[in-house]
């Protein structure tokens, strides 16, 4: 069964400039589709069109069907119903989805009470369970915290908990790990991978990172300049791409990968002995780029 069917999707500006042109793809129930392409190729606009969340001034045409519901031209009421129960999204920047003025527990309360009819103690338990399910340490404390009181990795976990609280059939993840520290990226991908598998959701994963889509998806769509260039099984597309552009993307990723061991083999820069302040300050150690405070000073335990 097809969970999501996008046919001839175009996104235009008010002056009829096409930002996405005639893009088609299908996402069968329980499957995982990756969208790749260079910056500005229309990945996010495609996702936002599916969510009915295009910025004002942009208009979608074509067809986006979620089961039997047509989303292009649908009423705000239909789209509101779909967002949150049919489709939920996780974005690159978790703050997009989170309210800085509400405690994290309060933010989870709405979808949990709305979708599962929970109240009182049952709702409180569900909030803690939702935070524990995304492997947040000390979920009771996190529920009482504001979003600025937790680390970047923890914020993304909260955003994922919020998306999952709606029990969606389809999860759209737009560069969900790009803004995170490299050590946290794999943990968040594992979390998404497990959640999608356990809940039998379909996943639409947008990433510029070919290693990520190769690990996480079964099918791949390549966009360039708002147009679909190529699509097919992920493994096949990354090993024997047909389009010249896909070949270029794959070759660039491979040459960067080949370069990595050389970089990590470089000797670490020694801390200058004549600058004791630098040697003592963990924010200045070679592991922390300049301007980054010691992450362990975070008010809530700094586990991602
Ligand atoms: N609100 C807008 N008004 C006009 N043009 C826009 C608007 N939003 C995006 N665009 C343009 O549409 C094109 C596609 O943007 P989109 O955000 O989908 O790219 P992307 O593939 O997600 O890129 P990235 O990898 O950098 O996130 C870009 O050229 C962008 O500048
Ligand atoms: Mg984008």
The CATH superfamily of 2-255 is: P-loop containing nucleotide triphosphate hydrolases (3.40.50.300)
Task: Tell which atom from ligand 1 comes closest to the C-alpha of 223.
Answer: 21
Instruction: Of 175, 172, 139, give the one whose Cα is nearest residue 158.
Output: 139
Tell me, what's the pLDDT at 295? 36
Output the pLDDT for position 95.
87
Q: What is the pLDDT of residues 26-67, one digit of tens each?
A: 999 999 999 999 999 999 999 999 999 999 999 999 999 999
291: its two tokens = 């301007």
Give the pLDDT confidence score for residue 277 in this predicted structure. Answer: 44
The residue nearest atom 30 of ligand 1, judged by CA position, is 40
By CB atoms closer than 10 A (0-12, 13-18, 19+), residue 269 is exposed
Ligand 1: atom nearest CA of 48 is: 18
**Helical H segments across the chain, by residue range:** 43-51, 76-81, 104-116, 120-133, 139-144, 152-165, 182-199, 210-216, 234-239, 244-265, 276-280
Closest ligand to residue 48's CA = 1
How distant, in Å, are the alpha carbons of 45, 68, 83, 295 from that of 159?
A: 20, 28, 15, 20
Average pLDDT over residues 148-153: 94
Q: Which two tokens stand for residue 102?
A: 């509400």
pLDDT given for residue 274 in this prediction: 52
pLDDT at 287 over 70: no
Q: Who lines ligand 1 at CB under 6 A?
A: 13, 19, 37, 39-45, 55, 57-58, 208
Atom of ligand 1 nearest to the CA of 45: 18
Contact assessment for residue 156 and residue 176, using Cβ atoms and an 8 Å cutoff: yes
State the distance from the centre of ligand 2 to the C-alpha of 89, rounded, in angstroms.
13
d(CA 71, CA 131): 31
Q: What is the pLDDT of residue 121?
A: 96
- At 111-144, the pLDDT tens digits run 999 888 899 999 999 999 999 999 999 999 999 9
pLDDT at 285: 39
Q: Give the largest CA-CA distance in the chain.
A: 70
Residue 199 Cα to ligand 2 middle (Å): 26
Identify the DSSP state of 61: E
Question: What pLDDT, on the 0 to 100 scale, is given for residue 289?
Answer: 37
């Amino acid at each position: 069964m097809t969970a999501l069917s996008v046919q001839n999707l175009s996104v235009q500006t008010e002056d009829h400039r096409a930002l996405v042109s005639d893009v088609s793809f299908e996402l069968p129930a329980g499957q995982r589709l990756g969208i790749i392409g260079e910056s500005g190729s229309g990945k996010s606009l495609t996702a936002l069109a599916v969510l009915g969340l295009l910025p004002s001034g942009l208009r979608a045409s074509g067809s986006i069907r979620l089961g039997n519901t047509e989303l292009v031209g649908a009423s705000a009421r239909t789209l509101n119903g779909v967002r949150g129960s049919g489709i939920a999204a996780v974005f690159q920047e978790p703050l997009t989805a989170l309210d800085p003025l509400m405690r994290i527990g309060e933010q989870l309360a709405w979808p949990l009470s709305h979708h599962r009819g929970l109240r009182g103690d049952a709702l409180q338990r569900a909030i803690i369970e939702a935070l524990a399910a995304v492997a947040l340490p000390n979920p009771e404390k996190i529920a009482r915290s504001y979003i600025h009181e937790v680390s970047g990795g923890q914020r993304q976990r909260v955003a994922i908990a919020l998306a999952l609280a709606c029990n969606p059939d389809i999860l759209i993840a737009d560069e969900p790990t790009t803004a995170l520290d490299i050590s946290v990226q794999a943990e968040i991908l594992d979390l998404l991978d497990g959640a999608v598998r356990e809940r039998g959701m379909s996943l639409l994963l947008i990433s510029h990172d070919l290693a990520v889509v190769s690990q996480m998806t079964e099918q791949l769509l390549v966009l360039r300049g708002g147009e679909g260039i190529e699509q097919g099984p992920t493994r096949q597309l990354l090993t024997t791409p047909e389009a010249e552009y896909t070949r270029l993307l794959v070759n660039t990723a491979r040459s960067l990968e080949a370069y990595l061991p050389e970089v990590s083999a470089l000797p670490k820069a020694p801390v200058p002995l004549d600058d004791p302040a630098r040697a003592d300050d963990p924010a200045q150690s070679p592991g922390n780029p300049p301007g980054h405070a010691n992450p362990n000073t975070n008010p809530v335990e700094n586990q991602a």
